[in-house]
A and B are shown apart, each in its own frame.
Chain A
Amino acid sequence: MMNISQILALTQKEFLALLRDKRSRVVLIVPPVVQLLVFGFAATYDLNQVPVAVFNQDRGSESRELIAKISGSPNFEVVKEINHDNEIAPLVNNREVLMVVHIEQNFSAHLHRGEPASLQAILDGRNSNTAMIAMNYLRTILFDYNRNWLLTRSQTAPRVRLETRSWYNENLLSRWFIVPGIMGLLMLVVALLVTALSVAREREAGTFDQLLVTPLQPIEILIGKAIPGLIIGLLEATLILAISVALFDIPLRGDLGALYLGVVLFLLAVVGVGLMISSIAMTQQQAILGAFFFLVPAIVLSGFSTPIANMPDLVQYLTYLDPLRYFLVIVRGVALEGNSYDMLINQYWPMLIIGVVSLTTAGWLFRRRMY
């Protein structure tokens, strides 16, 4: 039978060990908050003010109109107007511009004659994401230009138009997508590291042997070590949530309770994994590196920055093991989509399973590796 007061005593000791050192206290609060602030502002896929150079060999008003549309867009900033072919290469190579827009000589003439006129876009492909996104913006501008041209000049064009609306994130702010993700990311990092290091630190300091001499059973030690990670994780979650809503204007359209249920289940899974690592690692170095080996794939495959749907099928199966994957759906679902418990059930139970399995495994490993 488990002795609750003993477990609580162990938990209290864990907290003291964590918080006694001033550096330790600072490092649990300050860096995550700073990270949230910096990355919340930095991590964005929206391109703003992409430096563009324009090479306009045409004299007509149509080309000027098109250029005006490009420079008027918030996504682009025309930093240079070039007059000669050989100016292109240095600008792109040296990364002074991401894109060069080249309008041929007879652009306006072609348009008036009803012949296709060409616009050449030269892009720096070193960052393929930005290149693709910039291309997409340019295509949209061109699309509007073409459509206007057809509608005003041609009597025969079918007057079909696309009316696009975006749900949940009406203005398509990538910040609304990424900041909730950062919340999951930071919780994962802190909870995992705190738990992963807990046993290893004691092993290195020799105090683990002292723990073994106490009346505490292995399962009680496990629970006592799991609780601080859970509580700290919960506090961090609340802090990060408060900052996200207050500073980044992230909406909270859904059920807060549903979010917190997700937080608890997520932390359970993370703490379970952390304890598994902690039971295997003999030194703190091994514990941190082990945590790392779990962290990096967990972050990359979670859908934090790139969609799981785009991954190869085999890799998608792997993501089912990643608790962060489910948590991100929950956090984005509650914040942006207004989800409540019923819409999130499919995210809750996998995390519960991962938590139970990892905690049981940790307990089993604990007994094996104790001596």
Chain B
Amino acid sequence: MRLHGMIRKESLQILRDPSSIAIAFIMPVVLLYLFGYGVSLDARDIPVGIVIEHPDAASEAFAGVFDQSAFFLPQRFDAIQSAREALDARDIQAIIWLRNDFSSRLFSGQEAPISVIVNGVDSNQANITRGYIQGAWLAWLGHFSAAQGRALPIPVMLEQRVWFNAELSSQLFLVPGLIAIVMTLIGSLLTAMVVAREWERGTMEALMATPMHMGEMLAGKLIPYFVLGMGGMLFSVALAVWQFHVPLRGSFWLLLVSSSLFMLVALAIGLLISVVAKNQFVAGLVAIITAFLPAFILSGFLFDIHSMPVVVQWLTYLIPARYFVALLQTLFLAGDVWPVVLTNLGALALMLLVFTLLVWRKTGRGLDD
């Protein structure tokens, strides 16, 4: 009965403040569209500069490969100096330089080097650009040899098989992980602020003066946010599957169970933050910096955990979002892979236990710090 009243009060507060609803339903849309359409590591139309000091048939054939490729947007330069200036000014990303004696060396069987200079600031893109240039070079090599009447077989051919995500689509990989981000926002950020608000306004004291137990009060506070979070989750899943065509190869029930478990953990963290912070300003900042940003950077959502320094990898074990992202990526793209599912669910259950205990200890105290 008392619980009921608490839930009703909390729900009314949510409904009256449009920002809570916005976080649960508008934020997922914003995030999914942003990441679904805005983020891509696949480069295309890379502006490159081609410097041919001695134009002739062979070098033109070489440049032709770049003109025809969808990956490049080539520009011609007469001299290396102007190309260098363009690279400096960020007008082009790479320079491909065929020197004066390229053709003569080529046809006399001597070594004919081609210089490639890439802008290395974005090292990842530089690697990818270099890979594309190598691919173009290889294609040219094949044509050149064929034109000479000497077929040049590539000795070792690479046969590539990508499981779960054949197109290597960024969308399929990013969208499932986004659900974890959305739920962290609702569970940790929103909840942390909401409870901190009660402390700040003094209404927490009023609540403590009522006959309600601490447990009932917290439950009454958290249940509406749990419902809101699950609502946000279901909405995100619907968007992912119907709008972004992300396959859901695992069972929906497992997805529901995993999400509920994660939601509870996120809520526990939000509660812990609010209890420690006791005012909205601090709670908000702490939630963003210790819950949201780690979920973004350390969960394996965008950056690969294996590649992080060992110490940081250990740190990621403390981040609940890490387990949830692994679950999401597997349940959506791979299916019910039980070893992965059970390990991660177990870890989340353990985290729930730990955080609940921490909250229990911190709130048992009463009014004073």
Binding site for B on A (CB under 8 A): 21, 23-24, 27-28, 31-32, 34-35, 38-39, 41-51, 66, 92-95, 98, 111, 114-133, 135-136, 138-140, 142-143, 145-146, 149-150, 154, 156-170, 172-174, 176-177, 189-190, 193, 197, 201, 204, 283-286, 288-290, 292-293, 296-297, 300-301, 305-307, 309-312, 315, 329, 332, 336-337, 343
Over the window 157-201 of chain B, the binary record of Cβ atoms lying under 8 Å from chain A Cβ atoms (1 yes, 0 no) is 111111111101110110000000000010001100110010011
In the assembled complex, the Cα of A13 lies from the Cα of B219 at a distance in Å of 39
In the assembled complex, the Cα of A116 lies from the Cα of B158 at a distance in Å of 10
Interface residue B150 (Cβ < 8 Å from any Cβ of A): yes
Interface residue B264 (Cβ < 8 Å from any Cβ of A): no
In the assembled complex, the Cα of A158 lies from the Cα of B39 at a distance in Å of 40
For this complex, 7 residue pairs linking A to B, each with C-beta atoms less than 8 Å apart, are: A116-B156, A124-B164, A133-B124, A168-B119, A285-B20, A305-B303, A315-B37
Which residue of A118, A128, A154, A288 contacts B173 across the interface (Cβ within 8 Å)?
A: A128
Which residue of A23, A93, A140, A293 contacts B282 across the interface (Cβ within 8 Å)?
A: A23
* CB-CB nearest in chain B for A197: B281
Over the window 112-126 of chain B, the binary record of Cβ atoms lying under 8 Å from chain A Cβ atoms (1 yes, 0 no) is 111111111111111
Q: Judging by beta carbons under 8 Å apart, are A292 and B185 in contact?
A: yes
Over the window 11-40 of chain B, the binary record of Cβ atoms lying under 8 Å from chain A Cβ atoms (1 yes, 0 no) is 000000101101100110011001101111
Across-interface contacts of A307 in B (CB, < 8 A): 43, 122, 125
Over the window 267-293 of chain B, the binary record of Cβ atoms lying under 8 Å from chain A Cβ atoms (1 yes, 0 no) is 000000000011111101110111001
Q: Judging by beta carbons under 8 Å apart, are A162 and B39 in contact?
A: no
Across-interface contacts of A31 in B (CB, < 8 A): 285-286, 289-290
Given A125-B164, A158-B112, A118–B293 Cβ distance below 8 Å? no
Which 6 A-B pairs rank lowest in CB-CB distance, beginning with the nearest? A125-B165, A169-B120, A166-B120, A31-B289, A172-B123, A128-B173
Q: How far is the CB of A26 from chain B (nearest CB, A)?
A: 8
* CB-CB nearest in chain A for B285: A27
Q: Judging by beta carbons under 8 Å apart, are B293 and A39 in contact?
A: yes
Q: Judging by beta carbons under 8 Å apart, are B88 and A337 in contact?
A: yes
Which residue of B116, B200, B330 contacts A163 across the interface (Cβ within 8 Å)?
A: B116
Given A95-B340, A119-B159, A159-B112, A293–B165 Cβ distance below 8 Å? no
Stretch at the interface among B1-9, B74-82, B133-141: B133-141
In the assembled complex, the Cα of A145 lies from the Cα of B164 at a distance in Å of 29
Across-interface contacts of B35 in A (CB, < 8 A): 300
Across-interface contacts of A111 in B (CB, < 8 A): 155-156
Over the window 246-269 of chain B, the binary record of Cβ atoms lying under 8 Å from chain A Cβ atoms (1 yes, 0 no) is 000000000000000000000000
Which residue of B168, B190, B284 contacts A132 across the interface (Cβ within 8 Å)?
A: B168
Q: Judging by beta carbons under 8 Å apart, are A165 and B117 in contact?
A: yes
In the assembled complex, the Cα of A139 lies from the Cα of B132 at a distance in Å of 10
Q: Judging by beta carbons under 8 Å apart, are B160 and A123 in contact?
A: yes
* CB-CB nearest in chain A for B44: A310
Across-interface contacts of A288 in B (CB, < 8 A): 189, 193, 280, 284, 288
Given A129-B173, A161-B114, A172-B126, A39–B297 Cβ distance below 8 Å? yes
In the assembled complex, the Cα of A104 lies from the Cα of B288 at a distance in Å of 51
Q: Judging by beta carbons under 8 Å apart, are A158 and B144 in contact?
A: yes
Q: Judging by beta carbons under 8 Å apart, are B168 and A128 in contact?
A: yes
Q: How far is the CB of B48 from chain A (nearest CB, A)?
A: 12
